[in-house]
Amino acid sequence: MKARIGQLMAEVAAAEFSGADEVEEFRVAYLGRKGKMKDLMAAFKEVPGDQKRELGPMLNALKQAVEDKVKAASGETSSSVKASGLDATRPSGGVPLGTHHPLQVVRREIVDIFQNMGFAVAEGPEIEDDWHVFSGLNFPPEHPARDMQDTFFVERNPDVLLRTHTSSVQVREMEKRKPPMRLIMPGRVFRNEAISARAHCMFHQIEGLYIDKDVSFADLKQTLLHFARCFFGPDTKIRLRPSYFPFTEPSAEVDVYWGLKTEVDKRITKGTGWLEILGCGMVDPNVLEANGIDPNVYSGFAFGMGIERISMLRYQIGDLRHFFENDRRFLDQFAGER
* 307-315 and 102-116 helices, crossing angle to 10°: 110
Helices 307-315 + 217-232 axis angle, to 10: 40
Q: Is the peptide bond before 102 cis (omega within 30 degrees of 0)?
A: no
If 0-12 CB within 10 Å is exposed, 13-18 middle and 19+ buried, where does residue 247 land?
Answer: buried
Q: Are 207 and 184 in contact (CB under 8 A)?
A: yes
Query: What pLDDT digit, counting tens, does each position of 107-164 carry?
Result: 999 999 999 999 999 999 999 988 888 888 888 777 766 565 578 888 777 788 888 8
Longest dimension (CA), the chain: 106
Mean pLDDT over 182-193 rounds to: 91
Whole-number pLDDT of residue 120: 95
DSSP assignments along 283-324, one per residue:
EPHHHHHHTT--TTT-EEEEEEEEHHHHHHHHHT---GGGGG
10 alpha carbon, distance to own chain's centre: 59
Q: pLDDT at position 302, please? A: 95
Spans of all domains in the chain? 2-83, 102-334
pLDDT score recorded for residue 174? 92
Which pTM does this prediction carry? 0.66
Identify the three-state secondary structure at position 28. Answer: helix
Instruction: Say yes or no to pLDDT of 74 above 60.
Output: yes
Quote the pLDDT of residue 301. Answer: 96
Share of the chain above pLDDT 70, in %: 90
8 pLDDT above the threshold of 60:
yes
Give the side-chain half-sphere CA count within 13 A for 314: 22
Q: How confident is the model over 93-99, as a mean pLDDT?
A: 70
Q: Cα 109 to chain center, whole Å?
A: 17
Q: What was the pLDDT predicted at 329?
A: 84
* pLDDT higher than threshold 60 for residue 18: yes
pLDDT, position 100: 84
Q: Which of 272-276, 281-285, 315-319 has the highest mean pLDDT?
A: 281-285
Give the confidence band of 196 by pLDDT, cuts at 50, 70, 90.
confident
Alpha-carbon distance of 135 to 137, in angstroms, equals 5
pLDDT of residue 15: 84
Average pLDDT of the chain to the nearest whole number: 84
Report pLDDT digits (tens) over 286-317: 999 999 999 999 999 999 999 988 888 788 78
Confidence class for position 79, pLDDT limits 50, 70, 90:
low
Nearest Cα residue to 37 out of 73, 71, 67, 74: 67
> What is the spatial distance between Cα 105 and Cα 107, in angstroms, rounded to a whole number?
6
The reply to whether CATH 3.30.930.10 applies to domain 102-334 is yes
Cross-strand bridge partners of residue 158: none
Q: Which pLDDT value is given to residue 287?
A: 92
* pLDDT confidence of residue 222: 95
The DSSP code sequence of 203-234 is EEEEEEEEEETT--HHHHHHHHHHHHHHHH-T
List, as one string, the DSSP characters of 170-206.
Answer: HHHHHHH--S-EEEEEEEEEE------SS--SEEEEE
From the list 109, 164, 101, 175, the residue with the least C-alpha distance to 136 is: 175
Angle at 270 between CA 266 and CA 272, to 5 degrees: 80
The pLDDT of residue 208: 95
pLDDT for 209 beyond 90 = yes
Mean pLDDT of the region 318-330: 84
